[in-house]
Every structure is written in structure tokens, then in C-alpha cells.
């Protein structure tokens, strides 16, 4: 048997990490029951753990913790479709402490605003004793985390992104506090099985949060805009999206895999007097380069505020609403313009 990994707050990010890790493993129940094929990563260096079944650096049991019953139902559906529900994965509602007691490694994936209260649940400190805690909430620092737990806890910060779900993630790690080799091996196996990972100082963490964790959203704005352009000149929507997505992926891989500089790729495509240079000049007229670049420091500033006391959190958090985001939008749209404006600023 390997170790038990629990996820405290198994929402978007928890599901992405858990699904990616599960897909990286050869779990017999999934392989034998004819469920969908597992995702194979295309990222060079991504690891498919091949440890023996009793390898202590590879997880073999998972516990996903959520707050609401409806989220548990959704999670069970996701893991059932992967062929692992019940056998290797349990989904629990409001049983954080028990899940941590039964785990060796704990992935904290709740919102930054509730990281403190989640780690301060009665008996949680004791449950975490000697365990390895991986904290993902944006803006919550190692020094804050250290003040909330016992000194005996082994702890790191990780900043993954949603493509971890298909094993194409980018994760930045601070592992300086780890002293035991086995803990470093566990961490590196988790995150290098679901994409690339890089170890950096904590001073860079908010920038990394913006550049790799938020950026799937930023990249999709560019992607959608390219597809819109194709639709504007008559391409069917689905094909326009396919062309734009595969092209962006190909261009990124030429940088990562072929080691080409982006300017080299651009210049090679831009034939003198051709259509590419005409398009490039139109892009530069729209100040696209500085607009894109400037979103990163803005997101970095906001990341640094998250999880800090006395900073603006969104209206939904202030009202402590527990529903899904579309519900907030509905409620907020029915409120006055001023409140909606406040919410959009946060």
C-alpha cells in the first residue's frame, strides 16, 4: 500500500490535482472496468509513477472533503466516470478532521478566506501532527500557515493550475521547509505526475499565482478572441475554436519543446509583405502587448491580498453565502448598480 492523500476543499483545483494524479497511476479498478481511457500527458518530463504497490512515495488511497452534499454528489460522478469511486477514492462531507486523521499527506484546497478556520477546526491541529501539509490557497503565506498549526507539521506551499487535470499543469513549489528526503520525493512525484513543476522562493509566489495559476483564464480570452475573428469571416464556431486552440498549443510547444524564442517563431511566420505582418501591425495598434503584460502585475497585487486579514473579499464571502457562483450572479444582478459595481471591483 502507498500513502493516503486527502484534499481539504475538493472544488475546481482539488478536482484538477486529484484527477491528474489518479490518471497518472495504474489503478487496477480503472484499467479493468472499461471506463474512459486515462489522460496521457504530452509534457516532456511528466512522470508516470511506476513504484511498486507498496511504494511509500506514491498515493494509493484518496479522500476528497467538501462542505455541501450536492458537491459530494458531483464529485462521486466525476470519480465514478474515472472508475475509481469507492475503491480508491472516498468523498466526505464535513468530516475534515477524520479525513486528516486517516491521511499521510493533506492537500489544502479551500478558499484563502477560510484557510485559517479550516485549519483551526477543533482537533485539527492534533490530526495534522507529523503529517505533510500542501497548501494551495493564493496569498496565504508560510508564516501565516506556521502560526495556525503545530511546529511538528511538515508543510509546503504549492501553486498549481487547472490544466493539472489533464496532466498538463504548471506548479510552483516552495519546499525549503522539508528536511526529509521521502517528503520531497512525495511532493515531486505528485506535481511532476501532473505536468511541470518548479521550485521557487516564496517572494515570487504571487507573481506565479498570476502568471501560471490565473493565466489559463487569460489565455482563453486570447483564444476566444482568435476564434471570434475566424467566425467573423465565416468559419464555423467549432472549427474556429479548434484551429485557434491547436495553434496556440503548437506555438507554446515550439517554445517549450523546440526551445525557440517567441520572436523567432513570429519572424519566421511573417513573410515580407504577407498577411501575417498585416495582422501583427493591427494587433500592435490595439496595444495588445502592454494590455496583456499589465494584467499580470494587477493579478499579482490581488493575489497578495487574498487570505490576508482586513482585505476586500467579494460580496458573496462577506455575506457568507454558500451557493454556487451563478446564484451569486443572479442575486447580485437583482441588487442595485452600486453593489454590483462594488462586487466587480473586488
Ligand X SMILES: NC(=O)C1=CN([C@@H]2O[C@H](COP(=O)(O)OP(=O)(O)OC[C@H]3O[C@@H](n4cnc5c(N)ncnc54)[C@H](OP(=O)(O)O)[C@@H]3O)[C@@H](O)[C@H]2O)C=CC1
Ligand Y SMILES: O=C(O)[C@@H]1CCC=N1
Interface with ligand X by CB under 6 A: which residues? 8-14, 65-68, 71, 96, 109-112, 114, 118, 136-138, 159-162, 213
Smallest CA-to-CA distance from 174 within 209, 150, 148, 147 is with 209
Query: Among residues 71 and 214, whose Cβ is nearest to ligand Y?
Result: 214
Query: Among residues 192 and 300, whose Cβ is nearest to ligand Y?
Result: 300
Decide: is 64 part of the binding site for ligand Y (CB under 6 A).
no
Report the chain's C-alpha Rg in angstroms: 22
Query: Among residues 292 and 314, whose Cβ is nearest to ligand X?
Result: 314
Question: Shortest gap between Cβ of 190 and ligand Y (angstroms)?
Answer: 18
Decide: is 6 part of the binding site for ligand Y (CB under 6 A).
no
- Long-range contacts for 84-87 (Cβ within 8 Å, ≥24 apart)? 84/22, 84/27, 84/29, 84/30, 87/27, 87/29
Question: Shortest gap between Cβ of 206 and ligand Y (angstroms)?
Answer: 10
Question: Shortest gap between Cβ of 42 and ligand X (angstroms)?
Answer: 20
Which residue of this chain has its Cβ atom nearest to ligand Y in the complex? Answer: 213
Which of 209, 241, 315, 332 is the binder for ligand Y (CB under 6 A)?
A: 209
Contact segment (CB under 6 A) with ligand Y among 49-57, 99-107, 206-214, 314-322 equals: 206-214
Question: Shortest gap between Cβ of 148 and ligand Y (angstroms)?
Answer: 20
- Round to whole Å and give the CA distance between 222 and 211: 15
Give the Cβ contact number of residue 74 at 10 Å.
15
Which of 46, 213, 300, 304 is the binder for ligand Y (CB under 6 A)?
A: 213
Question: Shortest gap between Cβ of 118 and ligand X (angstroms)?
Answer: 5
Query: Among residues 24 and 171, whose Cβ is nearest to ligand X?
Result: 171
Query: Among residues 10 and 132, whose Cβ is nearest to ligand X?
Result: 10
108 strand-pairing partners: 8, 135
Question: Shortest gap between Cβ of 137 and ligand Y (angstroms)?
Answer: 8
24 binds, among ligand X, ligand Y, none (CB under 5 to 8 A by kind): none
Smallest CA-to-CA distance from 160 within 185, 194, 133, 184 is with 194
Secondary structure E strands in the chain: 3-8, 59-66, 89-93, 105-108, 132-135, 154-159, 169-174, 195-199
Counts for the chain of helices (H) and strands (E), in that order = 17, 8
Sheet bearing 3-8, strands edge to edge: 89-93, 59-66, 3-8, 105-108, 132-135, 154-159, 169-174, 195-199
Q: Restricting to residues 129-188, which ones interact with ligand Y according to CB under 6 A?
A: 138
Which residue of this chain has its Cβ atom nearest to ligand X in the complex? Answer: 11
Give the Cβ contact number of residue 247 at 10 Å.
12
Q: Which residues bind ligand Y (CB under 6 A)?
A: 138, 209, 213-214, 306
Amino acid at each position: 500500500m502507498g500513502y493516503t492523500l486527502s484534499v481539504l476543499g475538493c472544488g475546481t483545483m482539488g478536482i484538477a490535482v486529484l484527477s491528474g494524479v489518479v490518471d497518472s497511476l495504474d489503478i487496477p479498478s480503472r484499467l479493468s472496468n472499461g471506463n474512459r481511457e486515462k489522460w496521457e500527458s504530452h509534457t516532456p518530463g511528466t512522470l508516470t509513477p511506476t513504484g511498486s504497490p507498496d511504494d511509500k512515495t506514491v498515493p494509493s488511497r484518496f479522500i476528497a472533503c467538501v462542505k455541501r452534499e450536492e458537491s459530494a454528489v458531483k464529485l462521486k460522478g466525476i470519480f465514478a466516470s474515472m472508475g475509481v469511486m469507492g475503491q480508491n477514492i472516498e468523498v466526505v462531507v464535513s468530516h475534515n478532521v477524520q479525513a486528516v486523521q486517516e491521511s499521510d499527506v493533506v492537500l489544502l484546497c479551500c478558499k484563502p478566506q477560510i484557510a485559517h478556520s479550516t485549519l483551526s477546526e477543533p482537533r485539527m491541529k492534533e490530526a495534522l501532527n507529523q503529517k505533510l501539509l500542501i497548501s494551495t490557497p493564493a496569498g496565504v503565506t508560510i508564516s501565516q500557515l506556521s502560526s495556525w498549526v503545530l511546529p511538528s507539521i511538515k508543510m509546503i506551499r504549492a501553486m498549481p493550475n487547472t490544466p493539472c487535470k489533464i496532466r498538463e499543469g504548471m506548479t510552483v513549489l516552495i519546499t525549503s521547509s522539508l528536511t526529509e528526503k521521502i517528503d520531497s520525493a512525495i511532493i515531486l512525484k505528485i506535481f511532476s505526475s501532473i505536468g511541470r513543476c518548479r521550485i521557487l522562493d516564496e517572494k515570487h509566489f504571487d507573481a506565479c499565482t498570476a502568471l501560471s495559476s490565473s493565466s489559463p483564464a487569460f489565455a482563453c480570452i486570447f483564444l476566444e478572441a482568435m476564434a471570434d475573428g475566424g467566425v467573423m469571416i465565416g468559419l464555423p464556431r467549432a472549427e474556429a475554436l479548434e484551429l485557434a486552440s491547436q495553434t496556440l498549443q503548437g506555438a507554446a510547444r515550439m517554445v517549450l519543446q523546440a526551445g525557440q524564442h517567441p520572436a523567432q517563431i513570429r519572424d519566421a511566420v511573417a513573410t515580407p509583405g504577407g498577411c501575417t505582418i498585416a495582422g501583427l501591425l493591427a494587433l500592435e495598434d490595439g496595444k495588445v502587448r502592454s494590455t496583456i503584460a499589465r494584467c499580470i502585475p494587477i493579478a499579482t497585487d490581488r493575489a497578495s491580498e487574498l487570505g490576508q486579514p482586513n482585505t476586500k473579499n467579494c460580496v458573496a464571502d462577506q455575506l457568507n453565502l454558500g451557493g454556487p457562483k451563478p446564484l451569486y450572479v443572479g442575486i447580485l444582478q437583482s441588487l442595485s448598480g452600486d453593489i454590483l459595481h462594488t462586487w466587480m471591483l473586488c
